[in-house]
Amino acid sequence: MKNWIPFSDQESDQIWDKIHRDFKFKPSISKFPSFKVPHPFITYDISGFFGESADLDAYDDLEEKALDAFKESTLADEYILAFDWQHECYWVNPRLEFERDEFGEWTIPIFPNGDYYFFIQKDFKWGYLGHPWGKSITIFGKKLMEAFDKQKPRMFRKILRQG
């Protein structure tokens, strides 16, 4: 089976409309947070992992543990939504190969180092929202929060807010 299946134009429009409506998504480089997620949620400060002095192994750790959390939170043949704001978005199955680009990153990276990167369950029961300017990652939904709590990525040490 193929992974990283692009959204159709219709899917993209419908799903982005839902994100803007349900999450009150208002992209901003200065007003944070730029979205409102359902409870329960937790937002982690990842500001210490930007820049040249960042612990590079922490990026691999986040990828590995996020993938494990996504697998734990999905069925074997389930695809989730993978978003890159203002770029192509995809359906992706956490159990299939995650192809990498020329920089060694996933097609949509897990670390928000330049854009909003979101991974959301197809029925919006849980999600992972990366904010590049807020330098944060928000996890919502009990199932995904519990999976990440077991995995404990090194980047998830400093909590900004929770609800």
Instruction: Report in angstroms the alpha-carbon separations of 155 from 8, 66, 138, 163.
Output: 33, 11, 12, 19
Does the pTM of the predicted model rise above 0.75?
yes
Per-residue pLDDT of the chain (163 residues; tens, 9 = 90+): 578 999 999 999 999 999 999 999 888 788 778 889 999 999 999 999 988 766 778 999 999 999 999 999 999 899 999 998 888 899 999 999 888 888 888 888 999 988 889 999 999 999 999 999 999 999 999 999 999 999 899 999 999 899 9
Cα torsion through 39, 30, 67, 93, rounded to 10: 80
Output the six-digit token pair for 19. 């994100």
